[in-house]
Structure 1
Amino acid sequence: MAEHRSLPVPDGLEGERLDAALARLFGLSRTRAAEVIAAGDVLVDGQAGAKSDRMQAGSWLEVTLPAPPSAPKPRPEPVPGMTILYEDADIVVVNKPIGVAAHPTPGWTGPTVLEGLLGSGHTVATSGAAERQGIVHRLDANTTGAMVVAKSELAYSMLKRAFKERTVDKRYQALVQGHPDPLRGTIDAPIDRHPSGDGRFAVVAGGRPSVTHYDTIEAFRALSLLDIKLETGRTHQIRVHMSAVRHPCAGDLAYGADPTLAARLGLRRQWLHAVRLGFDHPADGHWVEFESPYPDDLVHALEVAAAES
């Protein structure tokens, strides 16, 4: 169902093109924003807008947004390479491989954790939207490591609350370019969608508060292996924050990594791994922790980095 929105142009969008302004305001891609404008569904002070029109703060926008595409329903199908780290009546902790999304989303045609669990005969909680049942947190499709899925309704509600209240210990390791200075620190910078509308995220004034703690485990000639603890869990948070301080994850070409270095390390995705996950078990409250070993591509990249140092 289409959604009608009316609002003034914020001061921060003064001088922006109309298509860029729509992309930032409503989380659309620039292409999708241009389509909405071309359809005559955007009025600026009562007049149909053109995508190249420059915005004036305080002008009145009237926008008819098309209904978002519905996410596909899960199709149970085993996922090769996805293993179970732990399972009981309430939770299942998976070791998520590369190229696997957490759950079905519009436009994603690859495998998902949810479909893999259902396809292997595991039960999951039915709370939440059908395409996200049991999912209480996510890892990027090309980020590997430990991920918990709720099997019982109690586990779903308690784990959702735990992630929201930041009582879950989420530990990652990342191989980043260069040597962060200081070797241990905190990146506290708000994150929102990238102004380009191309699906990336960025440090943006007025974005959602985002906090990343890092500590150097080992320094190589041109790279550093970091231990990372997240306080918040924004989309692409580690990748965005490390790129913002000019130390992108090795292999992360979308966020500014050196493609020559990535090729030398044999990386076809970001070197980022969810190495450990700890939380209060929803059944009885006792603390549990689960660890995930590095997959082969990350091990190989580390071996190359060590050999070159």
Structure 2
Amino acid sequence: MFQINRQVILEHPRLKFLQDVVPIDEHMDGIEKFINLCYVDEGWNVVQHGRVIALRATDEQRLSSAFKASLYLGKYKDMANTERFLKSMVSAGHSYEPIRGETILFLFIGIGKPVYDHLVTYTVGRPTRIAGGQRANVPWGFELPVEARNEEEYAEELDRIRRVIQLAKTDRVEQMQAARAKLPVGYIMPPFLFEFSEEALIKHVFRQRLFERGAQGATVEVVSDMMECCMQIDPQKWEVLVDYHGPHLQQWEKAMRTLRKESYRLEDICKLLSISLEEALQKDLYSLLLESVGKLPPSMWEKQR
């Protein structure tokens, strides 16, 4: 039986839930009950990390992508080889077609509207979007920005959300569709679903929101939860995919551009790192280059801290 880890959601330090006007515990009870009925009882391995729950991974055992990779490569005698895609296609930079149609369905609980906006921009490889909070459903509270310096400055936002709920649901003066126009940007959306193909996750979502620097802090946190869910589902697959698409690629590209532009010699690299030539000769060359000419500048968010 799957149980939602409510503590990591409801006790999150930046989340302010309106439990006095929204029956959040009751809603969570219903969600948990039907996750078990609709997914766990049907044989799906449901996993959670932080505020993200992976409900369904269509190729958890990698047998579908194994069959497709074997067909792609013309290997008909061992079509259940679950490592063929990773070792013969990913490592060779071939087509990602075998996992393009394989998807992971994510449920997000306790997520602010800005993070939703950052995720909804991905349409390639996203077959499912269920966002009830964009219509007439009641917001659950307010999410403080990661970058907030004075928490007390945001207290009035929670009151604004409470007034909107009362206006639409208690006093019934306005419909929620209209009253939601008064909501602050950072309101907590009711739970929503996004489904992404595995290819879109590794090539787009994780790359742009995790591997490349500069994504907004709350988005980085939630997308990190998504990746950790993937790691729980299939560590071997996602470790290989991250190895070939991870953050080190940005450093390596910068290193190549700098080396080509500046024509550095080993002595120049030593000066950049303030080490002797003898010390440099003892170091791993790959690490030496990433630490020097591959060092990335601070992101906009890091500069503001």
**TM-score > 0.5, shorter chain as reference:** no
TM-score normalised per structure 2: 0.22
**Greater strand fraction, Structure 1 or Structure 2:** 1
Name whichever structure is richer in helix by fraction: 2
Pick 1 or 2: higher relative contact order, CA cutoff 8 A, min separation 6: 2
Structure index of larger Rg: 2
